[in-house]
Every structure is written in C-alpha cells, then in structure tokens.
Amino acid sequence: MPKGPRVAVLVETSTSWGTQLVRGIANYSHEQGPWFFYLEPRGRYERLRLPTDWDGDGIIARVTSQAMVDEITASGIPAVNVSWYDFGADSIARCTVDENRSGRMAAEHFLERGFIHFAYCGALRRPGYVDRFGQSFVDALSGAGHDCEVYRPRRSAHDPRAWLAQLTDLCSWLDGLPKPIGMLAWNDVRGRQVTEACQYADIAVPEEVAVLGAEDDELMCAVSSPSLSSIDMSGKRVGYEAARLLTRLMRGRRRPVRPVFIEPGGILRRQSTDTLAIDDPDLTVAVRFIREQAHMGIGVADVVRHVNLSRRVLEQRFKQLLGRLPGAEIRRIRIDQARHLLLETELAMSQIASACGFSRQEVFTRTFGRETGLTPTAYRKQVRVDGKAIQEKTLSQSKREIAHGS
C-alpha cells in the first residue's frame, strides 16, 4: 500500500484554470507528500465521479451538483470543494478564488480606463449557480455611480448546441449597447464568444467594445481576435491552499465554517482592453505616457512637459474625466506593478521599489501602506502560497511596520 495519502482530484483538465489547479496540488504534494492521486483527463462539462472501487483518504473536487455532494458525503472521506457553487456548503469545506474581489477588480479595470458604459455577459448552463462574480461587478459600478447592462439571452439561445441562435442573439444585444463600453464576460470561453460576435456584427474591439474575460484560459485568449484580456483566477494558488486545507481535514481537524478565499492574481492585459474611453486626445496621450513611464520615476511635471499643457489645465481634465489627479494615476500604476511583482517574483523590497519607480524603499513602503492598508511584506505573505505558513497581519501591525519603514 502507498505510504502517503491517496487523494482523488475531480477537476476538469481541459482548461488552463483546471490544469493550474492540479499543478498547485502537485506542488504541495512534492513539498509535503508524496500523495498518490486518482486523476483522469476530463472536460468542463463531464460528470466527475469517484471510482466505484476506490478507497482513499481525501478528495479535492469542483462540486457542481447535489448528486456530487451526496456521493462525496456518502463516502465519508474528507473533501474540499474548489468551485464557486454553494452545493454542500453545510458539509464540505471550500477553498476557491474570491469571486467578489474578482468582480470588483474587473470594475476597477474599466473605471481606470475612463469608461462610463458597462455590460456583463454571464454564463450559460449553470443550474444552481449563484453568480456573485457578475453581481459584485454590477455592485461596484453602481457604487461608482454607473449602471451596467446584463445580457439575458432569449430562450432559443440557451441550448449550447444552437450556435447560430446564440450568435444572432448576442450580436443583436451587442449592436444595441451604447459605445464605447467595457464588457466583462463570465469566463474566457464566454469572452471569446463576445469578441467573435463583435466581428460578425462589425463592432470594433476594443475601440467600441472592450472585452475582459476570466480564468486566463491560454487557448481561448489566443484564439480570440483580438487576444483576450483576462482575470488571473489564481488556479495554482487555489490548488495549493486546497491541498493544505485537505491535509488538516485528513488529520482529523474540523471543517472550517467559512470558505477559504484566495486573492485573484490581477488583470492580464491583452489587446481586447487596450484602449482608453476618453474623448480628449491630450488626456489620452497623458495617461498612456504615465502607464509607459511610471516605472521610470516620472512626476507630474514630466507629464505636463510631455503633453504641453499647463499643470492646472491637466489636473482639471484628469479630475473631470477620470475622477483623480495625475499624481494619483502615477501612484496607482506603480502600486499595481508592485502588487504583481510581490505576487509573482522573489525580488527583494528594494528591487521592487526601484522597478516601480520609487526613489527609496521607505517611500515605497509608506505609499503602498497608504494605498492598500498593508506593508509590502504583509501583502506578499497574505496573497502568496510558497509552501510556508501564511501569516496574516492585521492593519494595526502593518501600520507599525510602515512607521519603521519595513
């Protein structure tokens, strides 16, 4: 018999998110194991089931139906659900990416680009699913004073095999939307359908409809024309944390009452959202200059010289059209880049500060703390999974670190 836990992984392997999740589980196994897996290639819509003759120690699964809950519960085997579905909430532990934060992140992405019109294209074939991702996008926009159009397909377009009916219905909806508009799709499969429908309807992407998907499915993003921007749903980190949670359950620990939510990795910007919805050529040039040069340590005076406007006029236009001043935009771009480097690299804080255009590490730490409520060190520990115990720091702890420049 194997000398390590026997774990069934019931996750589709046909998507980039699914394969990344499995990689995260495998990374945990390599560090803490070994584990011995029941894992087979599966598509997104295949029914995932435990093998009839399998006697294992733990389960990690995308639990998408009550039948799946019943099967896992009947087995008596500790399990972790990695999906957004609520099935089994009172009996199965859950670890997944934070859907509410993901929706807000999408809203921020479009608001930062100056959009005033927004739309959401949700999923098909999701019985029993409560779409908190889309709702959080709508709510974040509402909080900023904007409405959001939501795609509600005709009955004839619900059948996934009815390709022409789906395309015709989607084209008709897109044609009637105000332009330019920022569009969030439930995932990259849906996002690619939107970009394809725009081509059929002769709607320019991203100039008229900027499209953002989710899950960073490499194949769907590449097949899309233009290439599709997407939200990194942290598949590898979800897998690692789900494996860590399962270990505790297999050791007899109680199931956590609340789900474990993982921070989304950020926006992966590609051509489908590479635009600014600003009807002001000078401001467009200024914003592009900031995005391209913020890491070089530029200040507002550099922006003023680049666009050949007075500082007062430039600040008035920024405030009127973007709701923030040029200095705030420079800080936002730098902090966004710092988040990415803290999440994805092992660079030291001094190196990150320099790479993001900060003159000194102390300035970087104070600025990051004001913008996020955490020191860079605390942020990295909170959002990363690196095989060590993740230590969450409170806001008060972070402020003490900020005061000491750590």
Taking only the tens place, the pLDDT of each residue in 169-191 is 999 999 999 999 999 999 999 99
Q: Which residue has the tokens 């609520």?
A: 86
* % the chain with pLDDT above 90: 63
Residue 370, classed as helix, strand or coil, is helix
281-385+392-400 in CATH: which number?
1.10.10.60
DSSP 385: -
* % the chain with pLDDT above 70: 92
Regarding the domain delimited by 6-98+235-264, which CATH topology (the fold level of the hierarchy) does it fall under? Rossmann fold (3.40.50)
Is the distance from CB of 266 to CB of 340 less than 8 angstroms? yes
Q: pLDDT band for position 157 (50/70/90)?
A: low
Amino acid 40 reads E
- Please check the confidence at residue 399 and state whether its pLDDT lies above 50: no
The full length of the chain comes to: 406
For residue 266, the cross-strand partners are 232
Q: What pLDDT is stored for residue 279 in this prediction?
A: 76
Report the alpha-carbon distance of residue 246 to residue 8 in Å, rounded.
Answer: 11
Among 401, 329, 336, 334, CA closest to 369 = 401
CA 400 to chain CA centroid, Å, is 30
- Please check the confidence at residue 383 and state whether its pLDDT lies above 50: yes
Among 272, 284, 253, 279, CA closest to 80 = 253
Residue 203, classed as helix, strand or coil, is coil
Sequence ranges of the domains in the chain: 6-98+235-264, 99-233+267-273, 281-385+392-400
Amino acid 338 reads A
3-state secondary structure 137-192: HHHHHHHCCCCCEECCCCHHHCCCCCHHHHHHHHHHHHHCCCCCEEEEECCHHHHH
Name the burial class of residue 121, with classes exposed (0-12), middle (13-18) and buried (19+) by CB atoms within 10 angstroms of its CB. buried
What token pair was written down for 141?
């926009």
Phi, psi of 324 (to 5 degrees): -150, 165
Among 138, 136, 164, CA closest to 151 = 138
Instruction: Identify how many contiguous H helices and E strands the chain contains and give both numbers.
Output: 16, 12
Peptide bond between residue 256 and the one before it cis (omega within 30 degrees of 0): no
Q: pLDDT band for position 42 (50/70/90)?
A: confident
Long-range contacts: 139-145, Cβ < 8 Å, 24+? 139/103, 140/103, 140/104, 140/107, 140/108, 141/107, 141/111, 144/107, 144/111
Give the best-scoring range by mean pLDDT among 146-150, 218-222, 326-330: 146-150
The model's pLDDT over 236-257, given as tens digits with 9 standing for 90+, comes to 999 999 999 999 999 999 999 8
41 versus 242: which is more confidently predicted? 242
Name the burial class of residue 127, with classes exposed (0-12), middle (13-18) and buried (19+) by CB atoms within 10 angstroms of its CB. exposed
Q: pLDDT band for position 33 (50/70/90)?
A: confident
278 versus 190: which is more confidently predicted? 190
99-233+267-273 in CATH: which number?
3.40.50.2300
Report the alpha-carbon distance of residue 223 to residue 218 in Å, rounded.
Answer: 9
Across all residues in the chain, what is the average pLDDT? Answer: 88
Name the burial class of residue 89, with classes exposed (0-12), middle (13-18) and buried (19+) by CB atoms within 10 angstroms of its CB. middle
Pairing relationship of beta strands 58-61 and 260-262 according to DSSP bridges? unpaired
Q: Whole-model pTM?
A: 0.75
- How much of the chain is in helix, strand and coil states, percent to nearest 5? 50, 10, 40
Secondary element (H or E) of residue 81: strand 79-81
On the question of a common fold for 6-98+235-264 and 99-233+267-273, the answer reads yes
Q: Sheet holding 209-214: strands in order across?
A: 149-150, 118-121, 181-185, 209-214, 229-232, 266-268
